[in-house]
Structure 1
Amino acid sequence: MSSDPALPTYVYKLVPYTAPPPTPLPPVLPVSELDEKSGFIHLSTAVQIPGTLKHFFTDHPSVYILRVPYAAIAKDVRWESPDAKVCGPRPGEGLFPHLYNGQKLGRDEVDSMQAWQRTEGDGWDQALKQAEEWLVY
């Protein structure tokens, strides 16, 4: 648990997939087009994951969720507002963790990973429900 109650224990990276991830994870994973354009890696807290799925992953049938211990990357994280031009206003979600470390995220940072699949017609609700114990709020 983080020593500061305002800081999360974990942050999460959502990645769409169509094939199994490499095992083990490589030292550095490829970055998304959005991450590359932004110059940092977009992360979410557990509370922010439903909104991130809704705004960025409605057209993807499956995603990997990478769980990253916040303490391991804290020195390179900036808490910033989401750009409303990209996804519209996201009231109630607060600032987002953005990783500024040369876009390096891989096996040394990732604690664990889950593969989630979207239920047609239900969105991501079932996947979120099944992951309740794994997501740390």
Structure 2
Amino acid sequence: MNWNQIVERYTAGDRDFHGMNFAEAKLGRAELADADLSGSDLSRAALGRANLRHANLSGANLHGADLCHADLRDADLRGADLRGAILLRADLTGANLENADLRWASLTEASPLDMDLSGAHLDRTILPKGCCSNE
């Protein structure tokens, strides 16, 4: 499925993209709020400035993804693989990162308000100043 088909489906009201392969996709500025991307492969995807607010990304592979300036407010990232992901200035307010793998990820200047990092793997993770409750 190409990007135009995804946009068409989303515009038509479809939010179910569960388990799909978006590896290395160019999805910058994508409008995917409320989408179900659980279990999807988004490894090395370019998702800068994407709207992923309230998206279900549980169990998704976001290894090495570019999520700079992405809107991840209230997103479900439980168990997601975010190893090496770049979340520079991403809005993670209310995001659930429980049991997520954030090793080698960069959350520089990300907004950590109300982020749930319970059980998250944080080895070599660059966290925002003032973060976090489980340090």
Does TM-score exceed 0.5, indicating one fold? no
Structure showing greater Rg: 1
Structure with greater strand share of residues: 1
Higher helix share: 1
Q: TM-score if structure 2 supplies the norm length? A: 0.24
Q: 1 or 2 for the larger relative contact order (CA 8 Å, sep ≥6)?
A: 1
TM-score after normalising by structure 1: 0.24
